[in-house]
């Protein structure tokens, strides 16, 4: 295969340069469009720079420059402003998953010693009872619309008021934008890997890691300033944050912020994106929807015949897909021709379907610890079934390969994280003695530098929405039940993807004398109670009850490798 030539992109030295250079090049062009108070609004590249500077001025004035700040809100331009401004004045930003419960969110604010918290109204109301339990928390900032008369506490301020304050500081000369400098290799961001403080690892990322990853992403993909996105993945998700938001802002694209999962398909039809960044769950659902509609219209045979004819014509250089499949393409707005997908493995059949309809799906592979990009298929040099070409500037190797060539994928480069927050043992375990990061994924690298993932060393279960489910977290919840003595959670492959399965050894004394069916129902009702407090992708949907205890290691840990 011909060697891929990455695009030329200059190295970025600071988040300030990211914001400033984009404003200089794209000015009044919309960076975002979004819905607030049921109205469509626009946020330009110039707005981005103005708010970035104003928020930095306000944070420094309030003594929050260089401090740790937690962030938990829905998709909003203020989220991105907060993320970049905190880093841009030397601080540490902690983006949190808004699907977590209040107690868990408060736990993360506490262990990261956050002095400020940026939240949307929903999270503000959820966390209100916890504010008194967080002595280090000095300021709570509400993002988005919020009526002023409801703000009672003096530590609570509105985001818009902070921007106003910052602009005044700049106008008065009390803060001079463009003068802040800090070591780019310092800690700038902590990303947590799962839902509880007990089982989660905090991935420490530097400003340099983020900037390196943004440039890497821009070099590898084929997007430009004409691209329009609908951003549908949660904004704190590293894949969405770095690719859809930060890298695309460097390229000059415009994103519509999806206002609700319910409106995803409607928004895609209306906004007419040219490209989407998704996880496999969306493609699986879209593909199913397409075929359901085709079947309802009684056109399955006709469409399959057209796909064959179209594929054959393409081999001779004639591309009729826009004409043949206009009905399908119009459901996505009519302009969509690329989807970048990552986060979980995808069924190759779906890739073939989309390709035949005229939408190229580009697969990539990443991991939070690599901020996240490791590899991506270049648009015009894709390899089917591959997780893509190792990103420019990153080195990858296969450790101790078996005869088949499979082994652990290990990487080294500017986007590899600094270590785990307050967890030296896990950090030590994550790196080899010669400094390579152990991804925990098993794969092969071919002669052209393309990665093929074949397995996984870690316990983590990858849901089809690309999110990681850590068995240890679910086991922690299960073991709180008085009728469960031992528990292990695994991901079993089912017809429709991964089934999160609880393997349970019940506490026979606590359960009492009941038959098998009653026992199953009793344990499942406990599981349902746990599920109610969890985001859907973490729901335990299958149960297997064991008669005997799990086999354990000398340190009393369950031998997980025996459970598959």
Which stretches does DSSP call E strand in 268-371?
Answer: 275-278, 338-341, 360-366
Which residues, 44 to 83, sit near other proteins by CB under 8 A? none
Show contacts with other proteins in window 353-382 (CB under 8 A).
none
Q: Which of 399, 507, 528, 559 binds other proteins (CB under 8 A)?
A: 528
Contact 515, 473 (CB under 8 A): no
Nearer to other proteins, 131 or 524 (CB): 524
Tokens of residue 516, six digits:
């098998």
Q: Which residue has the tokens 């260089």?
A: 66
296/380 with CB nearer other proteins: 296
- Residue from 41, 122, 422, 559 binding other proteins (CB under 8 A): 122
The answer to whether the peptide bond before residue 372 is cis (omega within 30 degrees of 0) is yes
The CA-CA-CA angle for residues 159, 95, 537, to 5°, reads 120
Which position has the token pair 């990665």?
A: 451
- 202-206 and 187-192 beta bridge pairing: antiparallel
Q: Which is nearer to other proteins, 286 or 307 (CB)?
A: 286
User: Of these, 314, 541, 545, 563, which contacts other proteins (CB under 8 A)?
Assistant: 541
Q: Is 539 in the site for other proteins (CB under 8 A)?
A: yes
DSSP result, 38-101: TEEEEEEHHHHHHHHHHHHHHHHHTT-TTSEEEEE-SS-HHHHHHHHHHHTTT-EEEE--TTS-
- Between 90 and 280, name the residue whose CB sits nearer to other proteins: 280
- The Cα–Cα gap between 220 and 198 comes to 37
482-521 residues near other proteins, rule: CB under 8 A? 495-496, 499
Q: Which secondary structure element, helix H or strand E, spans residue 487, and what is its range?
A: strand 484-494
Binding residue for other proteins, selected from 188, 231, 244, 465, defined by CB under 8 A: 465
The DSSP H or E segment spanning 171 is: helix 159-171
DSSP 495: T
Q: Which stretch binds other proteins (CB under 8 A): 149-157, 269-277, 390-398, 532-540?
A: 532-540
x/- map, 251-290, other proteins, by CB under 8 A: ---------xxxxxxx--------------xx-xx--x--
User: Does residue 460 interact with other proteins by CB under 8 A?
Assistant: no
Give Cα separations from 262 to 56, 240, 268, 524 (angstroms). Answer: 35, 19, 12, 29
Residue closer to other proteins by CB (options 261, 318) is 261
* Footprint of other proteins on 79-118 (CB under 8 A): 99
Provide CB contacts within 8 A for 498, sequence distance 6+. 461, 462, 463, 464, 491, 492
Question: What phi and psi values does residue 49 have, to the nearest 5 degrees?
Answer: -65, -45
* Of the candidate residues 196, 464, 468, 481, the single one contacting other proteins (CB under 8 A): 464
**CA–CA separation, 231 and 258 (whole Å):** 6
Number of residues that bind other proteins (CB under 8 A): 30
Residue 303 beta carbon to other proteins: minimum distance, rounded to whole angstroms: 17
Report 160-219 residues binding other proteins (CB under 8 A).
none
Residue 500 beta carbon to other proteins: minimum distance, rounded to whole angstroms? 9
Distance CA 209, CA 368 (A): 11
Given the complex with other proteins, which of 193 and 541 has the nearer CB atom? Answer: 541
Query: Considering the complex, what minimum distance in angstroms separates the CB of residue 346 from other proteins?
Result: 14
Question: In this chain, which stretch among 136-144, 174-182, 234-242, 526-534 interacts with other proteins, using CB under 8 A?
Answer: 526-534
Shorter beta-carbon distance to other proteins: residue 219 or 263: 263
Q: Which of 536, 544, 559, 562 binds other proteins (CB under 8 A)?
A: 536
Q: Which residues bind other proteins (CB under 8 A)?
A: 99, 122, 260-266, 281-282, 284-285, 288, 292, 464-465, 495-496, 499, 528, 531-532, 534-537, 539, 541-542
């Amino acid at each position: 295969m011909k060697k891929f030539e990455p695009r030329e992109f200059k190295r970025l030295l600071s988040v300030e340069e990211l914001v400033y250079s984009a404003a200089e090049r794209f000015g009044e062009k919309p960076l975002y469009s979004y819905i607030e108070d049921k109205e469509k609004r626009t946020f330009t590249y110039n707005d981005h720079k103005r708010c970035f500077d104003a928020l930095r001025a306000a944070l420094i004035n309030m003594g929050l420059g260089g401090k740790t700040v937690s962030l938990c809100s829905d998709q909003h331009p203020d989220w991105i402003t907060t993320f970049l401004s905190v880093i841009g004045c030397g601080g540490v930003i902690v983006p949190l998953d808004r699907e977590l419960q209040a107690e868990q969110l408060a736990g993360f604010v506490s262990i990261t010693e956050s002095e400020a918290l940026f939240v949307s109204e929903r999270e503000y109301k959820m966390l209100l009872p916890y504010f008194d339990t967080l002595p280090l928390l000095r300021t709570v900032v509400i993002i988005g619309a919020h009526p002023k008369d409801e703000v009672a506490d003096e530590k609570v301020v509105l985001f818009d008021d902070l921007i106003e304050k910052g602009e005044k500081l700049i106008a008065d000369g009390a803060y001079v934008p463009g003068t802040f400098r800090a070591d780019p290799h310092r800690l700038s961001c902590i990303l947590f890997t799962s839902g509880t403080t007990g089982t989660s690892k905090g991935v420490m990322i530097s400003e340099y890691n983020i900037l390196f990853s943004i440039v890497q992403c821009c070099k590898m993909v084929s997007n430009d300033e004409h691209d329009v996105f609908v951003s549908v993945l949660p904004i704190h998700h590293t894949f969405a944050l770095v690719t859809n938001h930060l890298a695309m802002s460097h390229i000059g694209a415009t994103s519509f912020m999806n206002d609700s999962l319910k409106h995803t398909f409607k928004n895609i039809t209306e906004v007419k994106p040219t490209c989407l960044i998704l996880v496999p769950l969306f493609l699986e659902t879209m593909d199913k929807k397409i075929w359901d509609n085709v079947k309802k219209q009684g056109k399955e045979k006709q469409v399959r015949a057209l796909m064959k004819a179209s594929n054959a014509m393409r081999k001779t250089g004639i591309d009729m897909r826009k004409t043949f499949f206009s009905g399908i393409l119009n459901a996505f707005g009519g302009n969509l021709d690329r989807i970048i997908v990552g986060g979980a493995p995808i069924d190759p059949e779906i890739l073939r379907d989309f390709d035949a309809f005229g939408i190229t799906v580009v697969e990539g592979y990443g991991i939070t610890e690599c901020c996240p990009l490791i590899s991506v298929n270049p648009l015009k040099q894709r390899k089917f079934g591959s997780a893509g070409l190792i990103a420019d500037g990153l080195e990858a190797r296969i450790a101790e390969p078996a005869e088949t060539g499979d082994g652990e994928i290990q990487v080294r480069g500017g986007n590899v994280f600094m270590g785990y927050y307050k967890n030296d043992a896990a950090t030590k375990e994550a790196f080899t003695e010669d400094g390579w990061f152990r991804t925990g994924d098993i794969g092969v690298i071919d002669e052209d530098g393309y990665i093929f993932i074949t397995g996984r060393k870690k316990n983590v279960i990858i849901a089809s929405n690309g999110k990681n489910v850590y068995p240890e977290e679910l086991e922690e919840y299960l073991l709180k039940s008085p009728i469960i003595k031992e528990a292990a959670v695994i991901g079993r492959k089912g017809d429709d993807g991964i089934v999160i399965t609880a393997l349970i050894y019940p506490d026979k004394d606590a359960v009492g004398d009941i038959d098998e069916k009653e026992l199953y129902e009793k344990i499942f009702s406990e599981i349902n109670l746990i599920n109610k407090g969890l985001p859907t992708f973490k729901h335990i949907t299958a149960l297997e009850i064991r008669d005997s205890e799990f086999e354990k290691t000398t340190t009393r840990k369950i031998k997980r490798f025996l459970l598959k």
